[in-house]
Amino acid sequence: MTVVTICAPLSLDPTEAIAMAVRRAGGAAEVRYEPALLPPQRFPADHTGDPAWRRPTQAEQRWQKLLAETEVAFGIPGDSPDGLRALVATAARLKWVQGTAAGTGEQLRRADLPADVARLLTVTSAAGVHARPLAEFAMFGLLAFAKDVDRLLEARDQARWPPRWPMRQLARSHVLVAGLGGIGRETARLCAAFGARVTGLRRRPSAGDMLDGPEIPGVERVVGMDELDDVLRTCDAVVAALPGTPETEGLFDGKRLAMLPSHAVVVNVGRGSVVDAAALVAALDAGRLRGAVLDVTDPEPLPSASPLWRRPNVIISPHTAALTVDEDDRIVQLFAENLERWFAGGRLRNVVNAHVGY
């Protein structure tokens, strides 16, 4: 009997969906979900929970007992590297952790688990769950500046009918999608549907894709890091959908931003650390970029003193573009599918490589 413990606050009861997956696989599991032991959500799909909440002494003892007997954890306590370290230290029988974030790999890397523990532990992420909403946000940003939303809003605020001017099109534009995970693939598909020419950037450009094979729908060409600088010079837009790793930190720095044409737009729906914030501000101030669309920043929250807040050609979402009211349901379904594969001896989806961070 495998003990499965729900370690993250949810807006729904996942036990029936999980139990059905176990039955389909012919397995045996005890699913432990005790909402009273989990911090309340502050908003939909808040898997951290209220940071001010504390368990009473008896509840904390009960919680520690649950963790000590856990073999499969759905969610990381506190949705943080510290929570993962604490979980591993308490749950001696732990074999697999299903994260609720696409960035679970980053949490694993920052947890810096002992090598012997990390080697025996399987960690999976929620990659792909946020692909559609983030791809839609990326398209919103690309369209906003192609159609000069800042000029339109300025004219509206001034009640002024300006002379006509030509707007840009996504059709026949060249978009670089940096990162070809779920978000990047969906963004590429949507860009291609608008008639854009899409180049994809990935760490290993020749690597086949488990879902799509070597060819990715909507992507005309896949390049590696060694070709990035040449590609940037011909791009009308860049959509960064990369994880936060040492390799991607500051990838789009001042030198690379300067390679883009002055009409180019930068969209970041991956991790804030991928785009050098100071270099981005400098490029915008110098008129070397048309605009920027950011769902993520570095740091987060973005300080009120940041000049990014006060620019009409910058659109900022407070890391909320991925959030949808049905996110918990989709993450539960992902976990249920993975649990069915677990009992059937199949390959799990979204297994994190601790060495590369995703």
Active site residues: 271, 319
Distance CA 235, CA 261 (A): 7
At 293, which helix (H) or strand (E)? strand 291-294
Cis ω before 299 (30° cut-off from 0) = yes
8 Å CB contact between 260 and 235: yes
Q: Which spans in the chain are helix H?
A: 15-25, 57-68, 81-90, 104-111, 115-120, 131-146, 149-157, 182-193, 228-232, 254-259, 277-285, 327-344
**CA atoms within 13 A of residue 189's CA, in its CB half-sphere:** 16
Contact criterion met (CB below 8 Å) for 41 and 11: yes
